[in-house]
């Protein structure tokens, strides 16, 4: 009863903080600027002249597929940026919470209060909040991503309904891609997982055919645009996607994974001596690997900022550690943690290997890698998709305290900076 009362208090605080953020128009990053310059004009343009603005979609500078904008243009009856528009967006974003909650109950034997608390932590993700408040693309992609994972988990629980679930998994993972292009990693993961799994050949053929059919809208847009994105000037695609920046982006991804893994590292290793024993040698090796990448590939963390006075488009960890230490490579402290965490998760199962490889493959191609790409995605993937050693300590009251304090601290830090 004591545990339930405390969790109910946390749930209430998380929900109230979300309402307060909506009332006071909380903003993180350049979200309002992006909404007014890119997202809202694209939505209004599609409302005004659907096909013409679909053909010329690149002029809005969204650099993604326009499913989010189509949904909001057709289903959201309110003018962009108005209070009712934002209420509609918040309600739609609630689908992430619903299917995350349902997925938790599929995977773990936990109480409804525990599942509700873990779900409520998404409400204090700065980037989930901003996307919900302003009606941006991030949460639309997360909706379809979480739904596809929910049906994937149902498939793993009951293979007797495999045909229906295979189709639903394919559909919703494709919708996630059309909302946020980097979520193509999910399609890659699902397809490879079923390709190597012990399912019938006709099921493998089915998922191949379904994905091919679902690729047709994307191929049609590529045909209209003359490329993977609707480039408004030569070389625009290379400005956003470039294999030459993979070493730099990899270190940034590792640093963000390392930072967001801290509460889980503390939870699973609450004994300091045990933590040192389990991580020290792996951490040293990971640190040398990160330093090696940094030096050999001459990583320049300031390369996206002409003034070179702060770190832009490389995640908040690299920017924050530079502000504190004035050492460009200081973020490698967290990159090394992230590499160790990935190594340990990688060794647990084939499923983890496919998730990690497909995610890193796609995300590392991004030249600009913002924190919003992984927050709250890391949290969602950890709880409802990745395999880990299911230790009961993760669902203890002390562990819930650690999670609440950590993610509330991130929100307060984002508000104050």
pLDDT in tens, 366-388: 998 999 999 999 999 999 999 98
Alpha-carbon torsion, ordered 332, 337, 340, 344, to 10 deg: -150
User: Would 379 be classed as within a structural domain?
Assistant: no
Please check whether residues 31 and 88 belong to one and the same domain: yes
pLDDT at 193: 94
Please check whether residues 209 and 268 belong to one and the same domain: no
Last-in-domain residue among 230, 254, 276: 230
3-state secondary structure 303-350: CCCCCCCCCCCCHHHHHHHHHHHCCHHHHHHHHHHHHHHHHHHHCCCH
More confidently predicted of 136 and 200 = 136
Report pLDDT digits (tens) over 282-296.
Answer: 999 999 999 999 999
> Quick count: other Cβ atoms within 10 Å of Cβ 330?
18
Please check whether residues 64 and 116 belong to one and the same domain: yes
Last-in-domain residue among 202, 230, 258: 230
Please check whether residues 172 and 317 belong to one and the same domain: no
Query: Could you tell me if 244 and 238 are in contact, meaning their C-beta atoms sit under 8 angstroms apart?
Result: no
Report pLDDT digits (tens) over 43-67.
Answer: 999 999 999 989 888 889 888 899 9
DSSP structural state of residue 76: -
Please check whether residues 114 and 254 belong to one and the same domain: no
User: Would 72 be classed as within a structural domain?
Assistant: yes
pLDDT at 159: 57
Please check whether residues 35 and 113 belong to one and the same domain: yes
What tokens appear for 358 in the block? 């497909």
Which residue range forms the structural domain that includes residue 283?
Answer: 245-363
Please check whether residues 33 and 170 belong to one and the same domain: yes
pLDDT at 256: 97
User: Would 413 be classed as within a structural domain?
Assistant: no
pLDDT at 161: 61
Beta bridge partners of 241: 366
Please check whether residues 249 and 114 belong to one and the same domain: no
Please check whether residues 128 and 201 belong to one and the same domain: yes
Round the average pLDDT of the chain to a whole number and report it: 91
Average pLDDT over residues 105-132: 95
Report pLDDT digits (tens) over 155-177.
Answer: 888 756 678 889 999 999 999 99
User: Would 240 be classed as within a structural domain?
Assistant: no
User: Would 391 be classed as within a structural domain?
Assistant: no
> Quick count: other Cβ atoms within 10 Å of Cβ 172?
23
pLDDT at 61: 86
What tokens appear for 389 in the block? 């050693």
Please check whether residues 269 and 136 belong to one and the same domain: no
Give the C-alpha distances (Å, rounded to integers) separating 369 from 154, 163, 234, 250. Answer: 32, 37, 22, 10
Q: Which residues contact 374 (CB under 8 A, 6 or more apart)?
A: 253, 256, 257, 260, 315, 363
Total domains, the chain: 2
User: Would 375 be classed as within a structural domain?
Assistant: no
Distance of CA 192 to the CA centre of its chain: 20
pLDDT at 272: 74
Last-in-domain residue among 363, 384, 401: 363
pLDDT at 160: 61
Please check whether residues 164 and 270 belong to one and the same domain: no
Report pLDDT digits (tens) over 249-275.
Answer: 999 999 999 999 999 998 888 777 777
Q: Which residues contact 415 (CB under 8 A, 6 or more apart)?
A: 26, 28, 126
User: Would 310 be classed as within a structural domain?
Assistant: yes
Please check whether residues 25 and 150 belong to one and the same domain: yes
Query: Could you tell me if 285 and 343 are in contact, meaning their C-beta atoms sit under 8 angstroms apart?
Result: no
Question: Worst-scoring range by mean pLDDT, 156-160, 303-307, 341-345?
Answer: 156-160
User: Would 313 be classed as within a structural domain?
Assistant: yes
Band of pLDDT at residue 307, cut at 50, 70 and 90: confident
């Amino acid at each position: 009863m004591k545990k339930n009362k405390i969790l109910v208090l946390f749930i209430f605080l998380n929900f109230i903080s979300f309402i307060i953020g909506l009332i006071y128009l909380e903003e993180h990053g350049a979200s309002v600027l992006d909404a007014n310059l890119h997202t809202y004009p694209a939505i209004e343009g599609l409302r005004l002249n659907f096909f013409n603005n679909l053909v010329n979609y690149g002029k809005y500078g969204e650099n993604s597929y326009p499913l989010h904008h189509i949904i909001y243009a057709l289903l959201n009856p309110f003018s962009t940026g108005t209070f009712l528009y934002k209420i509609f967006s918040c309600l739609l974003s609630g689908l992430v919470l619903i299917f995350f909650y349902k997925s938790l109950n599929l995977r773990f034997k936990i109480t409804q209060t525990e599942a509700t608390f873990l779900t409520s932590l998404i409400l204090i993700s700065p980037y989930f909040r901003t996307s919900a408040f302003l009606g941006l693309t991030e949460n639309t992609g997360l909706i379809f991503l979480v739904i596809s994972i929910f049906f994937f988990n149902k498939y793993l629980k009951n293979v007797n309904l495999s045909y229906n679930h295979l189709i639903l998994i394919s559909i919703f993972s494709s919708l996630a891609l059309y909302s946020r292009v980097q979520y193509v990693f999910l399609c890659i993961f699902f397809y490879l997982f079923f390709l190597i799994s012990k399912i019938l050949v006709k099921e493998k053929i089915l998922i191949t055919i379904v994905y091919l059919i679902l690729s047709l809208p994307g191929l049609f847009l590529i045909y209209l645009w003359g490329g993977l994105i609707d480039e408004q000037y030569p070389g625009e695609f290379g400005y956003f996607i470039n294999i030459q920046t993979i070493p730099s982006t990899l270190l940034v991804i590792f640093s963000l994974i390392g930072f967001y893994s801290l509460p889980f590292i503390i939870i699973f290793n609450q004994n300091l001596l045990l933590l040192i024993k389990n991580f020290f040698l792996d951490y040293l090796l990971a640190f040398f690997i990160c330093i090696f990448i940094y030096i050999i590939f001459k990583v320049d963390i300031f390369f996206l900022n002409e003034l070179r006075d702060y770190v832009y488009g490389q995640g908040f960890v690299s920017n924050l550690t530079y502000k504190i230490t004035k050492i460009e490579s200081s973020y490698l402290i967290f990159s090394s943690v992230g590499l160790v965490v990935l190594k340990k998760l990688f060794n647990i199962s084939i499923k983890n290997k496919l998730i990690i490889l497909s995610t890193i493959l796609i995300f590392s191609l991004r030249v600009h890698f913002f924190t919003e790409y992984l927050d709250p995605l890391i949290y969602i993937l950890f709880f409802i998709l990745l395999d880990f050693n299911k230790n009961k300590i993760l669902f203890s009251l002390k562990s819930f305290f650690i999670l609440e304090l950590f993610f509330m601290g991130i929100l307060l830090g984002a508000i104050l900076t």
